[in-house]
Structure 1
Amino acid sequence: MARVRVRQHVNPLSRKYHQPLSIPDWGQIYPCLQQPLHLDIGCGRGKFLLNMASLYPEINFLGVEIREPLVIEANEQRDRLGMSNLHFLFCQINLSIEPLLQSFPPGLLQWVSIQFPDPWFKTSHKKRRVVQPSLVKAIADYLADNSIIFLQSDVEEVAREMAEHFLVNSCFEQQHQETWLEENPFPIKTEREIATLNKPESVYRILLRKKVFYRGNS
């Protein structure tokens, strides 16, 4: 099958991406809905999740992506492979994160990955970056305690800013003493990560965990 050609960057603040999120019936998507959920934000063509879902059938995977042709292509590939623990969803995540996470049973979200998001280098364009305070707050509200956030970029400024947005929220703590995590904690690398390492250039990784808060009787 010919690879779909799409624009590499799209403006997430454009009116065309402000349409309401159409949330599927998750019970129809995932036969085992109560399995832990891994959310990959900005999944691109979905190669990372296609491989992860094959390795971990006991986990449900959800990839969200703003470029709809890539979502269609990824779901077609999933169907050809007969995977029942994987789905791809078209949305502008900063407008849709709250209703999306709210649509799942509580406690299922246990992993979130954001890998090589668009850097939007111009100062005036930073509001287009995917990691914004509202996104962090929604993830903090719905991510299960002691669960994991994995961030990586080939742009140090972007990786640092993502980490700062999460760490300013008292729910999250960094899981390594060094500034950057040396190795990817997942057994699968994204296409962008492989290309960056082959140049060779640096990848800036951060692993965060949601703290466990004691909830005693008030």
Structure 2
Amino acid sequence: MLSKNCADYSNYSDYADDSDRLSLEHPNHNDRGDRHDYTDRSTQTINKALVKRVREHVNPLSDKYREPTPAPDWEQVYGDWSKPLSLDIGCGKGGYVLEMAKLYPDRNWLGLEIREPLVHRAIALKNSLMDECDLSNLHYLFCNVNVTLPSLLPAGKIHQVSILFPDPWFKRRHKKRRVVQPELVTSLTNLLVPDAEILLQSDIEEVATSMREVFEANPNFVNQAGIDNFASASLYPEHVMTEREEWTISQAKPVYRAYLKFKPIN
């Protein structure tokens, strides 16, 4: 259960829809997400005073995103770096990973996002809640995950990976911009602990199928629902629903989920 002293911010959408276009101006901060001058304002004031439009999609193959983001000192970032790490790739404004960090304080949570202003917004919200909640197990980082991940974390550190409602990139010529690529899956095999969980979601069947198939093509990952199958709601692990997932269900539309585990063959 959520702490009674912690507000519920699960409605901070993690999906690249129209609501994701509002974000904080870039505040000055370091990679640790240290507090800023506006942390004593209410969240409502922060949202009204420091918002601007953010591009709904960014091209991860452009030169701007080809440099890896340096890894911070993880011992300084987290209150206890020895905790199991859950990684949310494409965290948007960070609402999902924020709520999961509050629900599961025995884990560290890391949200990665390629749209830098959204990372600043997530950090600002986290900082505004620090007097109410212990969020020393939560961190956000701006990066292009396909470029940064291989050098970001030590081997055998990640216990769970979630990729929820990623940018679909519908056009055939743009599919190489999708976040789930074979190279990403290969990078993860060096960072995961055995039996680490992979959680995938989309409201677009073709996108969900593509993500699932890329993981299934790597022999180190086992689909818990059986190859070529999506996971039922009962099989899929308990989680906080993102705003996009809630909206999709409210419209009586399907959410396509895949649940895999890392079973290293070597």
TM-score, with length taken from structure 2? 0.76
CA distance in 1, matches of 2:196, 2:71: 24
CA distance in 1, matches of 2:218, 2:68: 27
Aligned partner of residue 147 in structure 1, secondary structure: strand
1:117 maps onto 2:169 in alignment: no
CA distance in 2, matches of 1:99, 1:39: 15
Aligned partners of 1:34 and 1:108 also within 8 Å = no
Aligned partners of 2:70 and 2:152 also within 8 Å = no
Aligned partners of 1:146 and 1:209 also within 8 Å = yes
Letter aligned with residue 77 of structure 2: I
Q: Identify the residue that residue 179 of structure 1 maps to in structure 2.
A: 229
1:135 maps onto 2:184 in alignment: yes
Which runs of 5 or more structure 2 residues have no equivalent in the other structure? 1-45
User: 1:20 Cα shift?
Assistant: 3.1
Question: Which structure 2 residues correspond to residues 142-153 of structure 1 after superposition, within 5 A?
Answer: 142-153=191-202
Q: Identify the residue that residue 25 of structure 1 maps to in structure 2.
A: 73
Q: Identify the residue that residue 2 of structure 1 maps to in structure 2.
A: 47
Moved over 2 A (4+): none
User: 1:212 Cα shift?
Assistant: 5.0
Q: Identify the residue that residue 251 of structure 2 maps to in structure 1.
A: 199
CA distance in 2, matches of 1:160, 1:28: 38
Q: Identify the residue that residue 139 of structure 2 maps to in structure 1.
A: 87
CA distance in 1, matches of 2:246, 2:87: 21
Question: Which structure 2 residues correspond to residues 36-75 of structure 1 after superposition, within 5 A?
Answer: 36-75=84-123
CA distance in 2, matches of 1:173, 1:196: 27
Identity, in percent, stands at: 49
User: 1:35 Cα shift?
Assistant: 0.3
Q: Identify the residue that residue 166 of structure 1 maps to in structure 2.
A: 215
Give CA-to-partner distance per residue, 1:51-83, whole Å, 9 cap, x none: 000011110000000000110110111122221
Letter aligned with residue 95 of structure 1: V
Number of equivalences? 211
Give CA-to-partner distance per residue, 1:8-32, whole Å, 9 cap, x none: 1111111111233122111110120
TM-score, with length taken from structure 1? 0.92
User: 1:182 Cα shift?
Assistant: 2.3
